[in-house]
Structure 1
Amino acid sequence: MKNTTLPRLGLVRGNLQAGAVGISRLFFVLLLLSVVGCTALQEYLPESDTSEPPMELTEFVPEIGVEVLWSAKAGKGTGDRYLRLPLSFIDGKVIAADYKGRVSAFDALTGERLWETKLDLPITGGPGVGDGLVVVGTEDALVVALDVVDGSPIWQATVSSEILSAPGVGGGMVVARSGDGQVYGLDASSGSPLWVYQRNVPVLTLRGAAAPVIADRKVIMGLAGGKLVALSLDGGQLLWERTIVVPRGRTELDRLVDIDSEPVVQGRYLYIVTYNGRVASVWLADGEVLWTREMSSYAGIGVDGETVYVTDTEGHIWALESRTGASLWRQSKLLRRQPTAPVSYQDYIVVGDLAGYVHWLAKDDGRFVARTEIEEEGIVNAPLVVDDILYVRSQGGVLKAIQVAD
């Protein structure tokens, strides 16, 4: 195992000095941004809804066995900060990062730690992977690229503010979103900026940003304010823009709509869900909206062939028909447990929750078929599925590889 430490070299902080807000559970952390520019920033933490506690877990007869293949400690996780630092997979490795700046690579089959790099930087976005790179973004407005083979640092680039989503990597480019609304196209080999795309940020947004998705030489992103855009990967030009939902209401909080989860590409189609808005199917080529229906989500969306799966704000898990958006089933026994975005695994849908449990649901009707506990720390990111193995990491940094037992 190789252990590498990257010194703090010439850090230049952007104009957003937000930091991470400590929370014990998944609350909405809202950013109040000044209307003129982004030189002023405040964080707003609304009071949590204590009217009803998370729903108690219901008993059921397990229909499948689940076994843990291996377990490892992947850094210190995110602790009590609400940060989405998803697991990534590349070249047979599972990549994990924590807020303290530790990036680790594990053999996907055995769990052996292959390398670990200590950046001594507060990581708030990533890891993104591709083109032989592991890329993370920091609270200090840095984008850092590591070699996927041994974790050695290759380059770092300064952007205008903190990174709150995984950079997109592919096609010789790294695409990173900063918290002030700028999107950077960086050369994957050197980190040199090739283009910048600027969007104004609404007065009120959810803390976080949808990760950019690279597909068909396009950069697809959901924006605060309910818009979906496609940029040219090569030059950053706007190719199309669509409004998924229009903000409505008497107050700023009522009018808060945001796309905080990344779009999912399935063939020629895109699927997207907004907070306080809609779930939609969109034509990838030109952004034509094929269907929408009312729904609110910050957790995200999963797609499997003919079915779209959504975790809504209340904690319902929905299965929708992908061509029309019609409801197929709804699982309502995880209310207020803050389940993650759903992922498809064989004949099942899998989500994690705030208490560290992983739930397995049957695809045909949403019934529970298995449940396993990772640890007491909650699970914020959707599990990662590679072939027939499911990888889950808690906010405390416990990483487990799980498989349906024979």
Structure 2
Amino acid sequence: MRYLLVPILCVLISACASDGEVLEPAELIEFRASATVDNIWKTETGTARAKGAEFFSPHIDESAVYTAGYKGLVKRTDRIKGKEVWSRELDFTLISGVSGDQSRIYLNSFEGHLLALSKESGELLWQQKFSSEALAPPAAALDRVVLRTNDGFIIALRAEDGEELWRYQIQVPVLTLHGYASPLIVPGGVLCGLDDGSLLALTLDEGKVIWQTQLSRAEGRSEVERLVDLDGQIVIDQQFIYAVNYQGRVAQIEPQQGNIVWSRPLSSVKGVAVDDSMVFVVEPDAYLWALDKRTGASMWKLEKLEGRYLTRPLAFMDYVLVGDLEGYLHVLSKFDGSTVARFQIDNSAILTAPQVLDETVYVQSSGGVVRALDIGKLVRE
């Protein structure tokens, strides 16, 4: 029997110290603003989170923003004007979404359905039912849709009609953290973080193993001490893959054979963000680290947001953006972590990372509020 665990439950509610003590959210302190955050538009999709539901984030393309909530409301909003293009109420309770490709968006239901909707009209194009639900949105690219199910399968489908092409079974430890990141489709392959602390690369066409790299191995006497899940979002740039696991390590990995270029001890369930020179990681206690991208050396560490249950960071221009459990978006200097701006999306938690396209930032709260924001430097007269 497999048991799901959110380590010291508060990881989904606030944050915990390394010894399991619940951390009170740090009070927000005053700061001298050097950037501005302006609301461009706002929409709502209904509550994005229910008891047992996973987290929702928008899918964004050049023309529209696609959003969903667990009760089944799905919307397409004009990306520039913020006007609703269409909305649809599905007869499904949703658990995760939204992802998409050029013509379709994809959502997962509590009952184990993968749903494909037309971007143009919102019409339900096809659905597939699996033996277990998928706790993260599927990856969609190169005419493939790849998802990981909760009972330990990585499954690839043809995007056009949902036909299953292959499946790969993974070994799942007895005790694991609740949740995992979406697979990542790359040219010729798909990357997936596993519960044993390893990163797996499969061929996209057939699901055959290319390589498997261990970030760290389970240590300790208790099952909780031995948790090393690689649940955070994996990132790839023009040269390397970046990944981090719980109670483990953050690493830079070359993509051809999966060799680790550098790694250092660090723990995260959120994943990483990168820009041209730095890697950003949020620890479970909400400490934010900035690392040198070439070596992994520490550049700075931010502790003043301790206990605020930060999202995975977004690296944007000269800033690092994180959301927190009270609905605040924190805009930080990427050079030293100082606060340069702050904006409250609403009074519910932000649980998924901010996104950016064409210098507009998009954020969805667990209350279902979605905002498009303009962030710029403050010019003082």
Report if aligned partners of 1:300, 1:340 keep a CA contact under 8 Å in 2: no
Matches within 5 A, 1:11-22: none
Matches within 5 A, 1:93-132: 93-132=64-103
User: Quick check: 1:102–1:120 contact (8 Å CA) kept in 2?
Assistant: no
Residue deviations 1:161-193, cap 9 Å, x none?
A: 011011011111110110011011101111011
1:281 aligns with 2:256: no
Residue aligning to 1:63: 34
Distance change (3 Å), C-alpha of 1:81 and 1:24: farther
Instruction: Indicate the residue corresponding to 2:117 in structure 1.
Output: 146
In the aligned structure 2, how far is the partner of 1:308 from the partner of 1:97? 30
2:62–2:79 contact (8 Å) kept in structure 1:
no
SS in 2 for 1:382: coil
Paired with 1:254 and 1:351, the residues of 2 have a C-alpha distance of 28
User: What residue in structure 2 maps to residue 249 of structure 1?
Assistant: 220
1:176 — aligned with what? 147
Distance 1:91 1:65, change over 3 A: closer
Q: Which residue of 2 aligns with 1:387?
A: 358
Matching residue within 287, 294, 315 for 2:265? 294
Q: TM-score, normalised by structure 1?
A: 0.87
- What is the aligned partner in structure 2 of residue 239 from structure 1? 210
- Per the alignment, do residues 131 and 160 of structure 1 end up closer, same or farther by CA in structure 2, a change over 3 Å counting? farther
Structure 1: 5+ residue runs without aligned partners?
1-14, 29-47
Q: How does 1:357-368 map to 2 (within 5 A)?
A: 357-368=328-339
Q: Give distance in 1, aligned partners of 2:165 and 2:233.
A: 23
* 1:303 has 2:303 as partner: no
Correspondence 1:335 to 2:321: no
Residue-pair matches, total: 371
AA of the residue aligned to 1:334: L
* Structure 1 residue 165 corresponds to structure 2 residue 136: yes
How far did 1:300 drift? 2.1
Distance 2:118 2:10 in 1: 34
Rounded Cα–Cα distance in structure 2 between residues aligned with 1:119 and 1:113 = 17
CA distance in 1 between counterparts of 2:340 and 2:259 reads 38
In structure 2, the partner of 1:314 is: 285
Q: CA deviation at 1:81?
A: 4.9
* 1:263 aligned to which of 222, 230, 234: 234
**AA in 1 matched with 2:86:** W
Which amino acid is the alignment partner of residue 238 of structure 1? Answer: V
Q: What is the DSSP-based 3-state SS (H/G/I as helix, E as strand, rest coil) of the residue aligned with 1:294? A: strand
Match of 1:205 among 176, 182, 196: 176
For 2:11 and 2:297, the matched residues in 1 are separated by 32
The answer as to whether partners of 1:212 and 1:220 remain within 8 angstroms in 2 is yes
Where does structure 2 lack aligned partners over 5 or more consecutive residues? 15-19
Contact kept in structure 2, 1:361 and 1:369, CA below 8 Å: yes
Shift of 1:208: 0.7
RMSD, matched Cα: 2.2
Question: How far 1:49 moved relative to its partner?
Answer: 3.9
The offset of 1:277, in angstroms, is 0.8
User: Which segments of structure 1 move beyond 3 Å, counting only runs of 4 or more?
Assistant: 79-82
Match of 2:191 among 208, 220, 240: 220
- TM-score, normalised to structure 2, is 0.93
Structure-1 separation of matches of 2:29 and 2:50: 27
Q: Distance in 2 between matches of 1:146 and 1:310?
A: 34
Deviation at 1:80, TM superposition (A): 5.3
